[in-house]
A and B are shown apart, each in its own frame.
Chain A
Amino acid sequence: MRSLNAAHEKQLWHGRKELVKATRTLFVWIVLALSLGSGPVTAAEISTFSAYVDSDVCAHLMLGPINSSRVECSQKTHKDGSDPVLVRLSNNTIFEVNKQKMISKLVGQLVEASGELKLNDGQMKLKEVRPIESSTIPQGDPARRLLDVRTFKTTGAPKTFEKIRHELAMMPYISEFDYISFTMVGDNVILSGWTVRTTNRSYAENVVKNIEGVNRIVNNIEVLPLGSMDMQIRAGARAALQQNLSRYFWGSGSDIKIIVKNGDIILLGTVMNEGDKNIAGIRCNSVSNAFHVFNLLRVQGAESGKKG
């Protein structure tokens, strides 16, 4: 009986081996056919450029010069859980990287990064990264523009800046869950931020393009997916905030913006006092399924105090 079973098992084992062999052969043929069908494989181009290592949150929000408040924002939000990203200094393009560990300890610093770029997806397959000093970037190099505060104080720009701000504020389909940020580099405008509507991304670009004094536009606005978990977090966060801070909400909008991305909540806008800012953070931390809360609300009094 035992020998019969053993013979049967041996037969089964042999059959399995044959099946595995056949599957492997088929797989090799499929891979071969696919690689032949796709034509000659081209070697991906490696780009090397100067970049600032930022947090995903601040890269989309704190546009403008790399100054102490930006570095502070980058390091704080990264510590709170925001992914590290690269911001190309020459044109402010944001790249997510495949190996975050390579840059996570360099957040808030300038680096020289090399890797394969996928410009359409804003992705970079990182090969090498090394920290650099700003002094190593030659004078006149486009990469220096983002480091120089004077770049952002062009004569005549305040009027154009105000016009852009007003037009973006008046966009019709901006909800409590969208935030469009922008800055001017000379007569070029960099748009950034987050929106839940794809059309807001192109609408913002079109509306700014038509403003007198604007030359070129870099559009870094990120369109957020409407996944069911994020939608629940959005609804939960708004309900929680409306309950305690209803004075910041009105029929068609609010002073507090709630950006939800992959379970993270980013609170933006301006509130009256530090207490309201803290309440907003506490209320959002209690929202089910939310991973991190980045409380970047500005306090009105503190701001005017700083200015004064």
Chain B
Amino acid sequence: MITYQNKTAFWLLLLLVVLTTGCAKQPSERSAKKIPAGKEFSGFLKDYSNLKPNSGIDGNALTYARTDVEKNLHKYIGIVVDPVDVYLASDADDAKLSEEARQATANYYHQALIRAVSSAFPVAEHGGPLVLRLRAAIIGVDVGGEVGAVDKSSDSEQAIHHAVNIGKVGVEMELLDSETGEQIAAMVDREPLGAGAEIGSVNFSKQERWAAAREAFDGWAHRVRQFLDSAHTLSEEDAKKVDQSYRPYGGETK
């Protein structure tokens, strides 16, 4: 039989559980994603099946661009660039890589991507009709050497003890229809542009010491732009149609 006291105790207990759960401190370290051991791809992209070598861009990246009349890169005029994901190498000791270091690395590449694509697709804040969503990930980040005292930030919260090694890193990205989530284009660039490069400061974008890492991320972002440009190149047939179709109004000199 349920008594009044039992009921009160039950509700008090429930309240206590809700309060303790709600106020519990969230773990500061987000569990790091890793490349599954022995796998070719990280699993970040929705679909890898259509990727093929692309001679139109530097390196040996694999790409895919949908060519439907209704859904292809030509049909979009804006882009949302999602925050970049970081995948550690399969055997990386994730305890040694601080969340701050990984975040700084992801933020830099995120900004590099925005710089590279924004002149082709105006960057929007939210998805919607005619807007693409760019998802990207840095794949294969490893633990680097200990950061020397000279390079360490004086702010103990920002100090990185172990550098982020991007020597074997590659990148994966895909462009989705921001409304339906359908994959419109994808690219996997495994060329280790960051060979020998490390990041030992959350402000690595401002320090000469980590210039090689910046160049690597700028290089991968540049290739994403090359891919967009190559996908935007008109076929011979389409070029003919465009040329025939375009005649300005008024002012013709005949």
Contacts and interface: CB of A to CB of B under 8 A. Distances in A.
Interface in A248-294: 249-255, 268-270
Nearest to A235: B129
Nearest to A182: B248
B242 A242 contact: no
B171 to A, nearest CB: 23
A221 to B, nearest CB: 12
Interface residues of B, number: 39
Given A158-B254, A250-B238, A177 B77 contact: yes
Contacts of A253: 74, 238, 241-242, 245
Interface stretch (A8-16, A20-28, A95-103, A149-157): A149-157
B46 interface: no
B38 interface: no
The B interface is mostly helix, strand or loop, or mixed, namely loop
Interface string B240-251: 011101111111
Interface residues on A, range: 35 or more
A181 to B, nearest CB: 5
Interface stretch (A31-39, A43-51, A81-89, A160-168): A160-168
B70 A242 contact: yes
B129 A252 contact: no
A170 B253 contact: no
18 contacts: A61-B249, A64-B250, A152-B253, A153-B253, A158-B254, A169-B246, A172-B229, A172-B232, A184-B253, A197-B120, A198-B122, A226-B78, A226-B122, A236-B129, A250-B241, A252-B232, A253-B74, A255-B245
Interface of A: 61-65, 69-70, 152-154, 157-158, 161, 165-166, 168-170, 172-175, 177, 180-184, 190, 196-199, 226, 228, 231-232, 234-236, 242, 249-255, 268-270, 296, 298
7 closest A-B pairs (Cβ-Cβ)? Answer: A64-B251, A183-B251, A235-B129, A169-B246, A62-B250, A64-B250, A199-B119
